[in-house]
Homo-oligomer: A and B are copies of this chain.
Amino acid sequence: MRIQILGSAAGGGFPQWNCGCANCHRLRQGTLRGKARTQTQVAVSSDGKAWFLLNASPDLRAQIEAVAELHPRAGLRHSPIAGIVLTSGDLDNVLGLLLLREFQPLRIFATSAIRKIVSQDNSFFRLLERVPGQVTWVDLRPGAAFELNVQGESGPGICCRAVPLPGAYPGYVNEEERGRLAEDQAVLALMLQGQGGKLLFAPALPAVTDQMLALMRDCDVLLVDGTFWSDDELRQARGGGPTSREMGHLPISGPGGSLERLSLRGPRKIYIHVNNTNPMLDEESPQYRSVRAAGWEIAEDGWSFAL
């Protein structure tokens, strides 16, 4: 299995358009030792030919262009991108679907609830269904395994399993609709198994249960929620707002934080989906050093590796 990290920041990217926090300000000034990042986007492939996107970021156009493996290969219209797996209906995970609308046949794997709130409640998505066979939504049942294969082809694809997480539906879903949607279909982690090993992708991790910990121990690589360093980070950075936990992101530091809870050895551990306010983006900070000392890596745009 080949894995490409096309983007590694949380929603808004780094720097973020209207943010003057220390990180964003210093990055723009050129005084931060740290790297700009686009919004989180991962692509996986079993054969290096057909690629599957894990979510579809708003930065997808530039992210595709940045990686030669994702460019068209044959004919006037072509893309190596065969499908997309969604882990939630968050705008940062789905807006990129609307950038893939040039009549390219695509499969979108999502829970029926995510399909509903995204494609049925937003007329824009009719543009993905203008010709028969343009986009095929495939129902993804939490807990069930499915194959990431090109439509109509069998082969040693990637086996994927969606692990339901205790998260909430996005802010654009109103209360009435929220009550009608299945709770276990809102936020997922993905367990991906190729011939060479197992990858867990959890860009939003609201909590770490013992069951999740057991799953992680069984993995070769973890790509895990590194959104916020501390629970009150947003409040500190912009003078208000929800806590990290209230937003469905277990913070990295503090009691019960991911640094403490995920002290397991064995898998390669990579934080992804890093918010622009996170102090570990400063590579001269104590937070960066402590994360690295604990054996974690911090994902960067452009990374690629095989499993």
**Contact of B17 with A127 in the complex, beta carbons under 8 Å:** no
A278 to nearest B CB, angstroms? Answer: 15
Which residues of B have CB within 8 Å of A75? 20
How many Å lie between the Cα of A12 and that of B62 in the bound state? 10
Cα–Cα, bound, A131→B71 (Å): 41
In the complex, are the beta carbons of B18 and A72 less than 8 A apart?
A: yes
For A76, A81, A170, A171, which residue has the most chain B Cβ atoms within 10 angstroms?
A: A76
CB distance from A181 to the nearest CB of B (A): 13
Query: How far, in whole Å, are A25 and B73 apart by their CA atoms in the complex?
Result: 9
Select one of B28, B91, B238 contacting A76, CB under 8 A: B238
Point out the residues of chain B lying under 8 angstroms from A100, CB to CB: 17-18
List residues 129-179 of chain A with CB under 8 A from any CB of chain B: 130, 170-174
Chain B residues within 8 Å of A270, by CB: none
29 pairs, CB–CB < 8 Å, chain A vs chain B: A15-B65, A16-B102, A17-B60, A17-B70, A17-B99, A17-B102, A18-B77, A18-B79, A18-B100, A18-B104, A19-B102, A20-B76, A21-B76, A24-B72, A25-B72, A28-B71, A58-B61, A58-B99, A59-B62, A91-B127, A95-B95, A95-B98, A121-B123, A122-B124, A123-B173, A123-B174, A124-B172, A125-B172, A126-B171
A-B CB proximity, top 8 nearest: A18-B79, A121-B123, A20-B72, A122-B122, A126-B172, A17-B64, A123-B172, A76-B238
Q: Footprint of B on A, CB under 8 Å? A: 12-13, 15-21, 24-25, 28, 58-62, 64-65, 68, 70-79, 81, 91, 95, 98-102, 104, 117, 121-127, 130, 170-174, 237-239
